[in-house]
Amino acid sequence: MKKIIKNIIALSCFVVGSMTTIYAQQIPVLNQYLYESKMYNPAAIGGETGWEAFLNYRNHWQGFDEAPVSQVISFSGSPFKKNNKMGLGVFLENDQANKFVSSLRAHLQYAYHIVLTPEHDFSLGLAGGIANRQFRYTESMVTNPETFWAGEVNTFLKFDAGFGFNYKYTSDQVVFKLGTAVQQLPTLLEDFKVKPNTITTTQSFDLNSHILSNISVRINTGNIGIEPLVLYRSAIGNVGGGELEFGARLSYMGYDKVDKVWLGGAMRTQNSGLHFSLGVIPQRNLNIFGSYELHSALGSSFEVGLGFMFGRPQTAEELEAKQNRKEELAMLQTQKEAEAIKKREQQDKERLEKERVKREEEARQAAIKEQEAIAEAKRRAEEDAKKAKQEEADRIAKADADSKKAAEKERLRKEKLAAEAKSKEEAEAKKAADAKAKAEADAKKAAEDKLNAKEAAELKARKEAEAKARKEAELKARKEKEAKEAAEKADPCSNIATKVPNWIRPNGLQDLLEKRNTSNDLAKASYKSSNSMVNISYIYSDESDKYQVDNNSRKWVAEITEVVVDALDQCKTPRLKDNINSISIKSELLDSKEDLSFDAETGYDGELGATIDISYKLDGTLETKKITTGAINNQELALIKLISLRDALIKSLNAQGMKVTKTNFILELTTGMEDNDYLRTTSVIINLEKAAN
């Protein structure tokens, strides 16, 4: 299958290349073209002393049998050492597509450089030679090729030429290159003639003109060079257009500011693949290049190259860098020698100092040992004298003790004899007394035995009664404990002051309202705890147009007061302070802020005073409103109702012993209700502060 595809591709290239009005690309695609324009642009050769050779080999489409192979050899330079404005070169290109198609091109090149300034160089170049292409029809998959072309092998040899220009700007940090080359020029010249638009299969071969343009900018920073590159290639008149190749190269330079190694990567448009390149410059005149390419349809390709320069003298910068390097190495060597001498002197000094310290330490140790020996001899003499003195004292003390012991022994013998006589007398007296006591005890025992029988019966009855009472008390205590545990399980807050009450649990306040048979079903209550505050929210609805607190409002005020009292007095977790931090009263009005100014049919008769001057929040903004007697609008009506509710809450909460003033209140009006004429929903949020742990 691969062989069939290969022959179809080759045959298609030949047919398209033979047409007079349809163009195909005949120049092989090489990755080295992106980095070295001398290989295809004659204007880039010369310009400096010496000759330079390039060899490049590429293996296309690995994995295909008999895949294309391309080789390029380029040799160019300046013939004059003193005048390098001219450049001469030789270019050879061999492209073996497969067994069916092969081509060979050979050119002589000439370039002339116009040095505008030391930094700016502009050059023009010409190339001329031959192009030879062979077609071996018997190697193709075409049946009876003689029906299309005569002969088994057709060779086409034609004159070939090209031209190009190149511009180069060079500074210490930046190198800019711009160039364009046109190859296989004769066909381009023939295209200026008027030719009919025909397609033929007559044996012929036309060279398709190609254009290759390059632009690059290299920026040097320290020993690093960064160079973005762009290459454009196309067969002139190509129906599908050309392709762009975008790449970049990163170079590392040595101390002589000459590249030592570089790494590059590039991508072609038209889904033509991605390749990575690596270059090594082991010597200043030798450049080794390698590349690996990936393509989604054609597989991978690899390419290797070699560049070498002959007779190129070192530049002033390289010589200066080399001399600086020698001087630097010499300075480093001198510094190393000086440091070595200094180190040896320091080592000798340290060695002598160690020997001196060692000798002094040995002398000090000898003196110490001598003093210790004298002290030891003195100590032993003192111990011997002390021992002799102690032995004499011990002998005298022993003799004295023996004398006293003999006298004490005699005294004890006499006292023993006297005690034995006395003890004998006392024993006889005791024997008589014991006989008398025994007789008395026998009489007493007979009387006690009679009495103890009665007391034992009474004691036994009393113990049995006590045991029965104790068992009954234990049973009662156990039942009380079980009843208490059951009560605590049913209501954890019944006997423990730190448990959470029912109303603090989710929807607990609402359940509490229902248990208390609240008549208004529009009231809602909830509880929320944060890090430092407990918020009790009470929301109710009112369709009344009265601005004073009516019976329903009084019920809500009483209900709110009872909720706050419960929060402060019931057992709870967390524990709250016995004060109110703040109270926020918020009312929702009509559906827009403009509707607040509509006139109402209600008038204000001054029940809260002839005028009311109050600050409140309207949609988040603090405003001051002054209300006078007479007709009032919805905004003023809502404010008077909030003031009435606030005063009623102050009175009710103060009656329960909680200190609340007007400064604890925040009054706020909001909009958002639809199709309402008067105040509808009011929310009261009471903030209780938690007690510190």
pTM for the predicted model, two decimal places: 0.43
Answer whether residue 317 shows pLDDT above 70.
no
Residues 276 and 274: their CA atoms lie apart, in Å, by 7
Asked whether residue 646 falls in the same domain as residue 511, the answer is: yes
Confidence category of residue 55, pLDDT binned at 50, 70, 90:
very high
> Residue 576, Cβ neighbours under 10 Å: how many?
20
* Cβ 660 vs Cβ 650: under 8 Å: yes
* Cβ 121 vs Cβ 178: under 8 Å: no
Is residue 496 included in any domain, yes or no? no
Number of independent structural domains in the chain: 3
The strand order across the sheet containing 665-670 reads 524-529, 533-541, 681-690, 576-588, 665-670, 611-618, 621-628
**Both ends of the chain: CA-CA distance in Å?**
86
Confidence category of residue 176, pLDDT binned at 50, 70, 90:
very high
How high is the pLDDT of residue 322? 60
* Segments forming the whole domain that contains residue 569: 502-690
Is residue 495 included in any domain, yes or no? no
Report helix, strand or coil for 236.
Answer: coil
Report helix, strand or coil for 238.
Answer: coil
- Indicate the pairing of strand 524-529 with strand 599-604: unpaired
Is residue 556 included in any domain, yes or no? yes
Least confident of 189-203, 216-230, 254-268, 463-477: 189-203
Backbone region of residue 230 per phi and psi (left: phi > 0; alpha: psi in -120 to 50; beta: other values): beta
235-247 pLDDT, tens per residue? 876 645 688 899 9
Q: How far is CA 379 from the centre of its chain?
A: 77
Asked whether residue 301 falls in the same domain as residue 331, the answer is: no
Residue 575: partners with Cβ closer than 8 Å, 6 or more residues away: 498, 690, 691
Asked whether residue 302 falls in the same domain as residue 349, the answer is: no
Is residue 328 included in any domain, yes or no? yes
Longest dimension (CA), the chain: 176
Is residue 98 included in any domain, yes or no? yes
Is residue 483 included in any domain, yes or no? yes
Q: What are phi and psi for residue 441, nearest 5 degrees?
A: -65, -35
Asked whether residue 387 falls in the same domain as residue 514, the answer is: no
Q: What stretch of H or E contains 406?
A: helix 316-490
Asked whether residue 384 falls in the same domain as residue 242, the answer is: no
Residue of 321 and 198 predicted with greater confidence: 321
Give me Rg for the CA atoms of the chain.
60
Asked whether residue 247 falls in the same domain as residue 386, the answer is: no
How high is the pLDDT of residue 191? 44
Backbone region of residue 609 per phi and psi (left: phi > 0; alpha: psi in -120 to 50; beta: other values): left
Asked whether residue 525 falls in the same domain as residue 616, the answer is: yes
Residues 646 and 660: their CA atoms lie apart, in Å, by 10
Domain end position, chosen among 313, 344, 365: 313
Is residue 449 included in any domain, yes or no? yes
Confidence category of residue 538, pLDDT binned at 50, 70, 90:
confident
372-403 pLDDT, tens per residue? 999 999 999 899 889 989 988 898 888 888 88
Helices (H), 535-590: 551-569
CATH code, 214: 2.40.160.40
Residues 586 and 666: their CA atoms lie apart, in Å, by 8
* Cβ 101 vs Cβ 67: under 8 Å: no
Is residue 497 included in any domain, yes or no? no
Backbone region of residue 343 per phi and psi (left: phi > 0; alpha: psi in -120 to 50; beta: other values): alpha
* Cβ 218 vs Cβ 175: under 8 Å: yes
Backbone region of residue 620 per phi and psi (left: phi > 0; alpha: psi in -120 to 50; beta: other values): left
Asked whether residue 218 falls in the same domain as residue 89, the answer is: yes
Which of the residue ranges 326-330, 477-481, 565-569 has the most confident prediction, judged by mean pLDDT? 477-481
CATH code, 659: 3.30.1330.60
Asked whether residue 328 falls in the same domain as residue 288, the answer is: no
Domain end position, chosen among 313, 332, 366: 313
Asked whether residue 330 falls in the same domain as residue 457, the answer is: yes
How high is the pLDDT of residue 164? 95
Answer whether residue 253 shows pLDDT above 50.
yes
Owner of token pair 């192009």? 131
Domain end position, chosen among 288, 313, 338: 313
Asked whether residue 158 falls in the same domain as residue 283, the answer is: yes
* Cβ 24 vs Cβ 17: under 8 Å: yes
Asked whether residue 432 falls in the same domain as residue 575, the answer is: no
